[in-house]
Amino acid sequence: MNKEQQELLDDAYENYWNSHPDADKIFQYEGSTFVTRRMTEDEFVDMVKTDDEFSGRWGLQIEERELSDEESIFHYEKELYSPLRIIDPKIPVMPNKLITITYNNKTIESYE
């Protein structure tokens, strides 16, 4: 996940955190006491990935999919022959996954 995508996730989580105090809390036992707490950012992201209703409520979508061999090669070669390699000459890694994050009508894709 790139920096821009992380910023979108942080914004969405901040919106969740600043929302109504009882919004989407986790209920759990700690010892013999039943407590509620807000989700951590990792738990929030996991819920967005696995629960469409939850994702829609917070306006955040995270899609991950495996790339085909042809797509992997295409994106590898695109990076390999990018003019930006003059600035950063390291050899790119062959991507095998596309991650798409959408929040507040902004979509960012990255390849890993």
Q: How confident is the model at residue 8, as a pLDDT? A: 95
Q: How confident is the model at residue 88, as a pLDDT? A: 74
* Lowest model confidence (mean pLDDT) among 13-17, 45-49, 76-80, 85-89: 85-89
**Percentage of the chain with pLDDT > 90?**
57
Pair 26, 33: CB distance under 8 Å: no
Q: What is the mean pLDDT of residues 1-17?
A: 92
The per-residue pLDDT of the chain, averaged, comes to: 87
Pair 64, 48: CB distance under 8 Å: no
Domain boundaries, the chain: 3-15+34-111
Q: What is the mean pLDDT of residues 101-111?
A: 95
